[in-house]
Amino acid sequence: QVQLVESGGGLVQPGGSLRLSCAASGRIFNINYMRWYRQAPGKQRELVAGIARGGSTVYADSVKGRFTISGDNARNTLYLQMNNLKPEDTARYSCYFGSPAVLGGITDYWGQGTQVTVSS
């Protein structure tokens, strides 16, 4: 029943910035991972950035130094600050939360995504 909703996407010029947000419609407890993915038409979905419960982060090489991921487990909120955007960053960005499942393993929560278009 819990849904993730992204916001903050839009059209920006090359070199511009955007800040994406992701919030859960309900409470999710014991989140282990929060991640941002992106997918362009005709391409596979790729991991952009992730943050673990302990605060460690990981970034795709293509965005490192330009994007910053941050999260708030207590508020079930995830952010992605994107600076110096390039046309190749154009894609639909989706957030992901992973939490322990009752029957074991991890329960995956996905958002529908928000479109980011970088063009002059």
pLDDT tens digits for range 5-55: 999 999 999 999 999 999 998 888 888 899 999 999 999 999 999 999 888
Contact 118, 87 (CB under 8 A): yes
Do 49 and 59 contact (CB within 8 A), yes or no?
Answer: yes
Per-residue model confidence (pLDDT) at position 90: 98
Q: What is the pLDDT of residue 75?
A: 78
| pLDDT exceeds cutoff 80 at 114 | yes
Residues 6+ away with beta carbon under 8 Å from 44: none
Q: Are strands 18-24 and 67-72 parallel, antiparallel or unpaired?
A: unpaired
| pLDDT value of position 50 | 97
What are the pLDDT digits (tens) for 56-73? Answer: 999 999 999 999 999 887
> Nearest Cα to 34, choosing from 4, 64, 61, 11?
4
The tokens describing 73, both together, are 């487990």
For the ranges 5-14, 69-78, 103-112, the lowest mean pLDDT is seen at 69-78
| Residue of 102 and 87 predicted with greater confidence | 87
Question: In the structure encoding, which two tokens stand for residue 25, read together?
Answer: 């419609």
pLDDT score, position 47? 98
| Separation CA 65–CA 61 (nearest Å) | 9
| The predicted structure's pLDDT at residue 100 | 87
